[in-house]
């Protein structure tokens, strides 16, 4: 694994040095970097979606937010941890109600369980450890984007 370090720290960990995509990508294993590229390409092709870096504290550190004018919260957050590339998606209850869970891959359904009412979070969280997960989450993000657009009118 290549390391893009600042003062001996990975770019993902260096709180006071906003990283570049290239630096974050360089700290990932090759297969995770490819999955990161795929998800980024998809999100950046969506109409009106912008990418920005955000420090999320000790847990998610430097992450990449994808925002749209359709919502005050991020559409998705890519967490480029060198040990576990993840994607987090804030999910509102009314959006969850529009999903047909039988059509979603099991791994996507399991991540959505964290966003249900009985938990203290509205965030679904997934490890991007395979193309199946990435593809399923791309479908979920498309559904969320359509839902937000419909709400916005």
> pLDDT (tens digit, 9 = 90+) per residue, 5-63?
445 789 999 999 999 999 999 999 999 999 999 999 999 999 999 999 999 999 999 99
Domain harbouring 112, CATH code: 3.90.1150
Instruction: Provide the 8-state DSSP code for 116.
Output: S
What's the distance, CA 43 to chain centroid?
10
Number of domains the chain is built from:
1
Residue pair 11/26 in contact by the 8 Å Cβ criterion: yes
Taking the alpha carbons at both ends of the chain, their separation in whole angstroms is 46
Spatial separation of the C-alpha atoms in residues 10 and 97, rounded to whole Å: 40
Domain that residue 134 falls in: 5-152
- Average the pLDDT over 85-102 and give the result: 88
Spatial separation of the C-alpha atoms in residues 25 and 114, rounded to whole Å: 27
SS3 75: coil
pLDDT (tens digit per residue) in 111-133: 888 777 666 678 999 999 988 88
- Average the pLDDT over 89-105 and give the result: 86
Q: Where are the beta strands (DSSP E) in the chain?
A: 5-6, 9-10, 50-55, 62-67, 76-81, 84-90, 123-127
For position 120, what pLDDT does the model report?
A: 67
Residue pair 132/108 in contact by the 8 Å Cβ criterion: no
């Amino acid at each position: 694994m290549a390391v893009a370090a600042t003062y001996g720290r990975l770019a993902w960990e260096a709180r006071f040095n906003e990283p570049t995509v290239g630096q974050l990508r360089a700290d990932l294993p090759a297969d995770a970097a490819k999955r990161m590229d795929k998800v980024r390409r998809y999100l950046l092709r969506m109409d009106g979606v912008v990418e920005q870096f955000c420090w999320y504290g000790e847990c998610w550190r430097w992450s990449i937010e994808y925002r749209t004018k359709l919502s005050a919260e991020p559409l998705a957050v890519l967490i480029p941890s060198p040990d576990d590339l993840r994607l987090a998606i804030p999910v509102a209850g009314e959006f969850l109600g529009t999903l047909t869970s039988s059509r979603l891959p099991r791994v996507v359904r399991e991540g959505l369980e964290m966003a249900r009412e009985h938990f203290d979070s509205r965030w679904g969280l997934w490890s991007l450890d395979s193309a199946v997960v990435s593809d399923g989450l791309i479908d979920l993000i498309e559904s969320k984007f359509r839902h937000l657009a419909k709400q916005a009118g």
